[in-house]
Amino acid sequence: MSRFLECDVAVIGGGLVGASIAFGLCRSGVRPLVLDGEDLDLRASRANFALVWVQGKGVGAPHYALWSRQSSLLWPQFAALLQDATGIDVALSQRGAFSFALSSAELDRWHTEMETIAGETAGAAAPYEILGHNELRDRLPAIGPDVVGAVYSPADGHVNSLRLLRALHAALKAGGADYRARHTVKGIEPLKAGFRLSGDWGTVVARRVVLAAGIGNETLAPKVGLDVPLKRSKGQVLVTEKCAPFFRFASATIRQTDEGGVMIGDSEESASTSIAARADINAVLAQRAIRTFPLLADVNVVRSWAGFRVKTLDGLPVYEESASHPGAFAVACHSGVTLAAGHALVLAPQIAAGALSPDLAVFDSRRFPRRSHVSQTA
Amino acid sequence: MFRRQHEPADPVRFTFDGQVIAAERGETVAVALLASGVRTVRTSVVGGEPRAPYCLMGVCFDCLVTVDGAQNRNGCLTVARDGMVVESQRGRRRVGAEAGA
Ligand SMILES: Cc1cc2nc3c(=O)[nH]c(=O)nc-3n(C[C@H](O)[C@H](O)[C@H](O)COP(=O)(O)OP(=O)(O)OC[C@H]3O[C@@H](n4cnc5c(N)ncnc54)[C@H](O)[C@@H]3O)c2cc1C
Ligand code: FES
* Mean pLDDT for chain A overall: 94
- Say which of A142, A298, A299 has its CB closest to residue B99: A142
pLDDT in tens, B16-47: 999 999 999 999 999 999 999 999 999 998 88
Chains A, B: CB contacts within 8 A come to 56
What DSSP assignment string belongs to A305-319? EEEE--EETTS--EE
Closest-CA distance, A294 to chain B, in angstroms, reads 9
**CB of B56 closer than 6 A to ligand 2?**
yes
* Centroid of ligand 2 to alpha carbon of B60 (angstroms): 5
Is residue A45 within 8 Å of residue A165, measured between CB atoms? yes
Per-residue pLDDT band for A214 (boundaries 50, 70, 90) equals: very high
Among A239, A246, A290, pick the best mutation site for testing chain B contact (most B Cβ within 10 A).
A246
pLDDT of the residue at A372 = 54
The mean pLDDT value for B38-63 works out to: 94
Percent of chain A with pLDDT over 90: 92
CA distance A190 to A205: 10
CA distance A248 to A46: 23
pLDDT in tens, A249-303: 999 999 999 999 999 998 999 988 888 999 999 999 999 999 999 999 989 999 9
CA distance A206 to A193: 9
**CB of A57 closer than 6 A to ligand 1?**
no
**Nearest bound ligand to CA B61?**
2
pLDDT of the residue at A204 = 96
CA distance A310 to A229: 10
pLDDT of the residue at A2 = 46
> Which structural domains are found in chain B, ordered by start?
12-91 (3.10.20.440)
The verdict on a CB contact (< 8 Å) between B93 and A140 is no
**CB of A338 closer than 6 A to ligand 1?**
yes
Per-residue pLDDT band for A159 (boundaries 50, 70, 90) equals: very high
Task: Classify each residue of A90-122 as buried b or exposed e, where b means 16 or more C-beta atoms within 10 Å of its C-beta.
Answer: bbbbbebbbbbbbeeeebeebbebbebbbebbe
pLDDT in tens, A7-41: 899 999 999 999 999 999 999 999 999 999 999 99
**CB of B52 closer than 6 A to ligand 2?**
no
Closest-CA distance, B101 to chain A, in angstroms, reads 7
DSSP β-ladder status, A6-12 and A230-231:
unpaired
- Tell the residue nearest (CA) to atom 21 of ligand 1: A45
pLDDT of the residue at B46 = 85
Among B62, B92, B95, B98, pick the best mutation site for testing chain A contact (most A Cβ within 10 A).
B95
> With an 8 Å Cβ cutoff, is A297 touching chain B?
no
Choose between A368 and A179: higher pLDDT.
A179
Residues 9-68 of B with CB under 8 A from A: 45-46
The verdict on a CB contact (< 8 Å) between A241 and B72 is yes
* Mean pLDDT for chain B overall: 92
pLDDT of the residue at A371 = 66
The mean pLDDT value for A56-69 works out to: 96
pLDDT of the residue at B101 = 36
pLDDT in tens, A112-129: 999 999 999 998 999 999
> Which structural domains are found in chain A, ordered by start?
5-49+162-230+314-367 (3.50.50.60), 97-154 (no CATH), 234-308 (3.30.9.10)
The mean pLDDT value for A99-116 works out to: 97
User: What is the predicted ipTM?
Assistant: 0.79
Is residue A264 within 8 Å of residue A243, measured between CB atoms? no
CA distance A375 to A361: 19
The one-letter code for the residue type at A128 is Y
**CB of A309 closer than 6 A to ligand 1?**
yes
The mean pLDDT value for A167-172 works out to: 98
- Tell the residue nearest (CA) to atom 3 of ligand 1: A48
